[in-house]
Structure 1
Amino acid sequence: MADQGDVVDVADEVGVVDELEGADQAARERRLAAWRGSERALVRGPVEQRIGEGLAALTAAAPDLDGALDDWVDVYGDGVVERLERRVADLLGMEAAAFFPTGTMAQQVALRAWAGRTGNPVVAVHPLAHLEVHERDAYLTVSGLRAVRPTTEPRLPTADEIRDLDEPFGTLALELPLRDAGFVLPEWDDLVAVVEAAREREAVVHFDGARLWESTTHFGRGLPEIAALADTVYVSFYKSLGGIAGAALAGPETLIAEAAAWRHRYGGQVFQQWPTALAALAGLDRELPRLPSYVAHAAVVARAMREAFTAAGVAWSRVHPEVPHTHQFQVWLPYPARVLDEAGIRLAEETRTTLFRRWWEPGPPGLAVSEVTVAAPALDWTAEEVTEAVAAFLTRVRAVLAEDGEGDG
């Protein structure tokens, strides 16, 4: 079974998809058994673990955390939670940080606080941002804010688009990377220019940095230099670091103090959070230093997949971006999601190899996308092995299509 360091960043496309689709329990059990039984995978998912295994992994990691097991358990955010907050503030070069049980809560609080300070409730945000797509419009419905769209293109906005917005806004919220556009990032100079454009508009800048940890390679800058562009930064502890849950909001000390007050009002003042804090600290110790190697290998995996689809004669396919900006990217194929899901499960059951996990059809029926995460288990895969796995996967895709009486795409 994978250790804690192998368990990263697939909860959204595993557990959440099941919940939203109301998946049949037997189908879910089959899928998890197939993934869990695989000897080879690009990433290990957190939902593959039994509870006892998760506890064992956390206990195994804890002795390396500078005497953390000798601390008292936390009470309403002291002790190990404060240690985590200081660690994050130092890593990002910010004055202070506050721990939140969820990123949705952290972002609501940040935007609400900035609206109060700027006197402007308008947030400039991309329509594909997590705030828009995955948080049920929380900042609009709970905090009474309003959105404007700098662009609808599947990329971060440009400086000119920020300057050309036809109404004032108090906060510019940038998701780095923009997940639903393909985990894409701007170039460094373009990001600097966008921030400067927002300052010209007398707006503050908030980074949705749930996956900021793995963005340093693309930017060629360290975390403090990246974070210094923003007034506040939210980071996640489970999306790339293998944590149980939780997030942090970092920024000026006075704003973080205000955020802590709103955290209490929003119900985030949890009595004890030491398991979540310990898992986050373990992720910062173990996974954060590894992320650049995952990003580098993602380029190898993406290229091998792209070439394998072409060699197999797939009518149309896309790996996006062609060279991933982080250790995650999208794969698009011209088949129904249910066919690709079934083929992936059969590949895992028959060859003990998990290549792709969940597929979905966000646009035209029959055109499906999957998110690929390259983590520690993938580092042993050569390009040739990726090519072979893709070929084996496509063989099963065609078999499922034949059973359904459908032609190959």
Structure 2
Amino acid sequence: MIARMSDAVDDRDGTAAGGGHGGVAGEGDAPPPTLRARRIAAWRAAPRVLARPGFLAPLSERLALLEAAGGVYDLDEDSDIYGNGVVEALERRVAGLLGTEAAAFFPTGTMAQQVALRCWAGRTGNPAVALHPLSHPEVHERNAFSQVSGLRPVRVTDEPRLPTAAEVRDFEEPFGTLMLELPLRDAGFVLPSWEELTGVVDAAREREAVVHFDGARLWECTEHFGRSPAEIAGLADSVYVSFYKSLDAFGGAALAGPAGLVEEARAWRHRYGGNVFQQFPTALSALIGLERELPRLPEYVRHARVVAAALREGFAAGGLPWSRVHPEVPHTFDFQVWLPYDAEVVAEAAIRAAEETGSMPFANYWDPRGPGLASTEVYVRAAALEWTAGDVRTAAEEFAGRLLRRAAAPA
């Protein structure tokens, strides 16, 4: 899905719902607000929200983030021009954290990964990229690999998990690069075990393929693996990391790996239009995120497991006939919730719960998964630490009751 809170690009939940006209609106009538507009309005107004990602905050709050910039970089230095200064400082910081020879800043992760895989295709002589069909380039990038970069994606497995070593080893056609998304977001932010991951990497190397990690959320994988970012990144030949998905920066990404690859990537970055004149606000916000948020991510993961367990208990206490928290024990601080109702029904219930109670456990978009089935993503960050297990159970039980009452009401 595209209009999630963390990738809020379009208005997938834009169908008008509730509070509008019974028939066709007359001339001059304002259209009723969309579900998305109501959801964000409720999110901003509710005193208690489980997830408060910074990018949905007003501009005044986002700009206030830079008040901490003096603590991460000397603001008396000259501003950056085409990637020097604070951008170079950020690149050095990322390379140090990931244990790589070099890193290059990119305005978007889409560009960073296209460039990385294009470079590897040139070096291996094989444009085929083995990846999962639920990986970000396949679902969210409009076929950019083939349309822009001339690469050929091949799908290793259709199972909602990362590929196994056997699947990589026995895949029926050659490929130059294996790309692994850590975690695999659209499958439920799932990760393999450390042993499974090392086995998959070894299997790719047996085939003389290089390994690239889509590590947009690599920062939040350390608790699951019990390894540092450098140890995780050290398994791959290159890795991309995001600055806004886990660290609440304004945007931006980095590609890290061998110095020669990163130098080539800088040339392609220029060709792709990514050598932006000045990027100091984004670079400073990324440095602030590395300083403030990165040390807190393991705590968020641990609390996500508390939240997930409490949601299951609350749904059961509320009498829901069926519900699913996936993964049952979250691998990162993000996970999915599945409920047996149409997406618009659950979305309406979530909005009304926030409007009527001031408490909003489900602030994200509900994705239709089939007839009478919907899912959403739950994010656990600093705001969620204020919710005890009891708070979550109570909110989930009330939400379950709200859904059951709506289902029982006459049409």
Instruction: Trace 1:3-402 onto structure 2 (pairs within 5 A).
Output: 12-13=4-5, 16=8, 18-20=10-12, 22=14, 26-27=33-34, 28-58=36-66, 60-67=67-74, 69-401=75-407
Instruction: Please give the alpha-carbon distance, in whole angstroms, between the structure 1 residues aligned to 2:10 and 2:292.
Output: 29
Shift of 1:17: 5.8
Deviation at 1:15, TM superposition (A): 6.2
How many positions carry a matched residue from both structures? 394
Equivalent residue letter for 1:118: T
Cα displacement (A) at 1:374: 0.6
Cα shift readout 1:231-256 (whole Å, capped 9, x = no counterpart): 00000000010011110000000000
Name the % identity. Answer: 64
- In the alignment, the residues of structure 2 paired with residue 135 and residue 165 of structure 1 have an alpha-carbon distance, to the nearest angstrom, of 25
Of residues 230-239 and 24-33 in structure 1, the stretch that sits farther from structure 2 once superposed is 24-33
- CA drift at 1:29: 3.7
Q: CA deviation at 1:51?
A: 1.4
SS, match of residue 295 in structure 2 = helix
Query: Hey, what's the Cα distance between the residues in 2 that align with 1:101 and 1:326?
Result: 25
State the one-letter code of the partner of 2:69. A
Distance 1:294 1:34 in 2: 24
The answer to whether the Cα contact below 8 Å between 1:341 and 1:357 also exists between their aligned partners in 2 is no
Measure, in 1, the Cα distance between the counterparts of 2:391 and 2:9.
28
Kindly state the Cα deviation for residue 302 of structure 1 after the two structures are TM-superposed. 0.3
Show CA shifts across 1:50-81 (max 9, x none).
212211222x22122142x2222211111111
Q: CA deviation at 1:357?
A: 2.0
d(CA) in 2 for partners of 1:162, 1:270:
38
The answer (yes or no) to whether the contact 1:44–1:377 under 8 Å persists in 2 is yes
Contact 2:39 2:351 survives alignment (8 Å): yes
Is the Cα contact below 8 Å between 1:238 and 1:245 reproduced in 2? yes
Q: Distance in 2 between matches of 1:117 and 1:389?
A: 53
Structure 2: segments with no counterpart, 5+ residues:
17-31
What amino acid is aligned across from residue 70 of structure 2 in structure 1?
P
Pairwise CA distance, 1:90 = 0.3
Question: 2:334 and 2:282 mapped to 1: Cα distance?
Answer: 24
Rounded to whole Å, the distance in 2 between the matches of 1:311 and 1:196 is: 46
Report deviation, 1:341. Answer: 1.1
Letter in 2 for 1:13: M
Q: CA RMSD in A?
A: 1.8
Alpha-carbon separation, structure 1, partners of 2:6 and 2:42: 13
Q: By how many angstroms is 1:205 displaced? A: 0.2
Contact kept, 8 Å, 2:133 with 2:139, in 1: the verdict is: yes
- SS of match in other structure, 1:363: strand
Q: Which range moved further: 200-209 or 311-320? A: 311-320
Is the CA contact 2:73–2:284 (under 8 Å) kept in the aligned structure 1?
Answer: no
Comparing 190-199 with 389-398, greater Cα deviation is found at 389-398
Instruction: Give the letter for the 2:301 counterpart.
Output: V
Matched residue, 2:20: none
Divergent runs of 4+, >6 A: none
How does the TM-score come out when normalised to structure 2?
0.92
- For 2:357 and 2:9, the matched residues in 1 are separated by 25
CA distance in 2, matches of 1:26, 1:47: 21
**For residue 109 of structure 1, what is the amino acid of its counterpart?**
V
Higher helix share: 1
- Inter-partner Cα distance in structure 2 for 1:15 and 1:154: 20
CA contact (8 A) 1:124 1:148 kept: yes
Q: Tell me how far 1:13 sits from its aligned partner.
A: 2.9
Alignment correspondent of 1:7:
none
Residue identity opposite 1:312 in structure 2: G
Q: Is the 8 A contact 1:11 1:46 kept in 2?
A: no
Shift of 1:47: 4.4
Which residue does the alignment assign to 1:4?
Answer: none
Whether the 8 Å CA contact 1:14–1:357 is kept in 2: the answer is no
Native 8 Å contact 1:99 1:248 kept in 2: yes
